[in-house]
Amino acid sequence: MRAVKRDQKTRIALTLNGRKLAAEAEPRLLLSDFLRHGLGATGTHVGCEHGVCGACTVLVDGVAVRSCLTLAVQAEGREVRTVESLAAPDGALNPLQAAFRDHHALQCGFCTPGILMSFTDFLARTPHPSEAQIREVLSGHLCRCTGYANIVEAIKEVASSSHAPRSEG
């Protein structure tokens, strides 16, 4: 049984984008803050901290979740994946990212990392979803810039092609 007192910092070890990392945190620290300010993975964004906007979405053990509604201590021993993991080491965009660029599916780009992570999970489970399914998953994200249409188009393109992304890795 793990027990951490309120003022006590505990070491949290996890795998972030394939690399084993650890840092200290109090029990109340949100995973979003831990990733951004503790581990320096600033690609994950924070837009509401109450679970509505979806900007903070990351994969924990392959599953898309709100990192603002997750405590850092809960990520102990888990595999966390963030947007920084999507492109190849040489910077080449993966098919989902490339589709976003090709369809002008982002403007300010602040909502984008969360959306990419949601669909990294969803397309791995449902490689060829219908447009209605895409919209259903996308409705878990707020974007203020694009009006969403181009995001739907980008995801449709990936969904209709053979290379839907995989969640492991």
Partner 1 sequence: MVSQATKTQRKEDASLLSGRGRYADDLPVPVGTLYAHVIRSPHAHAGIVRIDARRALAHDGVWTVLTGEDVRKLSDPFLAAVKTPVQQWSLAVERVRYVGEPVALVVAESRYVAEDAAELVEIEYAPLPAVIDPVAACAKSAPLLHPQAGTNEVSLREFRYGDTNAAFSRADRRIAMTTTFPRLSFTPIECYVVVAQHNAAENSYDVTANFQGPFSMHPVMARALRVPGPKLRLRIPPDSGGSFGIKLSVFPYIVLMALAAKITGRPVKWVEDRIEHLVAASSGPNRVTQIEAAVTNDGRVLALRLDQLEDYGAFLRAPMPGPLYRMQGAVTGAYDIANVDVINRAVLTNKMPASLIRGFGGPQLYLALERLMHQIAVELDLDPLEVIRRNLVPAQKFPYRAAAGALYDSGDYMRAVAIATGGGRLDELKRRRAAARVQGRRYGIGFAAIVEPAMSNMGYLSTLMSQEAREKAGPKSGAVSMATVNIDPLGAVTVTADVTVQGQSHETVLAEIVANALGLRPDDVEVTLEMDTAKDQWSIAAGTYSSRFASGTAVAAHMAAAQMREKLKAIAAKQLNVLPDDVELAGGKIRSRSNPDNALPFGRVAATSHWSPVLLPESMAPALSETAAWTPPELEPPSHDDRINTSLTYGFVFDMCGVEIDPVSYQVRVDRYVSMHDAGRILNATIADGQIRGSFAQGVAAALYEEFTYDEEGAFLTGTFADYLVPTVSEIPEVEILHYESPSPLTPLGAKGLAEGNCMSTPACIANAIADALGVADVALPATPRRIHALLERAGEAGER
Partner 2 sequence: MKPRPFDYVQPDTVDEALALLAEHGDEARILAGGQSLIPMLNLRLIEAAVLIDISRIAELDTIRSDGGVLEVGAAVTQNKLLAWPNLARESALLAAGLPLVGHFQTRNKGTVCGSIAHADPSSELPLLLAMYAGEVVLRAQRGTRAVPAKDFHKDMLTTAREPDELIVAVRFPERPRERVAFREIARRHGDFAIIAVAAAAGANGAVTLGVGGMAGRPVTRAVAAHDAASAADAIGQWAEEIKGYDDLHASAAMRRDMFRKLAANVVAEVAQ
In the complex, which residues of this chain contact ligand FES (CB under 6 A)? Answer: 46-49, 51-56, 66, 68, 106-112, 143-146
Min. distance of Cβ 134 from ligand FES in angstroms?
16
Q: Does 47 bind partner 1 (CB under 8 A)?
A: yes
Q: Does 1 bind partner 2 (CB under 8 A)?
A: yes
Q: Does 3 bind partner 2 (CB under 8 A)?
A: yes
Q: Does 50 bind partner 2 (CB under 8 A)?
A: yes
Residue 76 exposed, middle or buried by CB count within 10 Å (0-12, 13-18, 19+): middle
Q: Which does 166 bind (CB under 5 to 8 A by kind): partner 1, ligand FES, partner 2, none?
A: none
Contacting residue, 16, 39, 72, 106, with partner 1 by CB under 8 A: 106
Neighbours of 110 (CB within 10 A): 16
Q: SS3 string of 63-110?
A: EEEEHHHCEHHHHCCCEEECHHHCCCCCCCCCHHHHHHHHCCCCCCCC
Do residues 54 and 114 make contact, with C-beta atoms less than 8 angstroms apart?
A: yes
Q: Does 89 bind partner 1 (CB under 8 A)?
A: no
* For partner 2, the closer CB: 39 or 64: 64
For residue 138, give the 3-state DSSP assignment.
helix
* For partner 2, the closer CB: 135 or 169: 135
| Site of interaction with partner 2 (CB under 8 A) | 1-7, 26-28, 30, 33, 49-51, 54, 57, 63-66, 68-71, 73-74, 118, 121-122, 136-137, 139-140
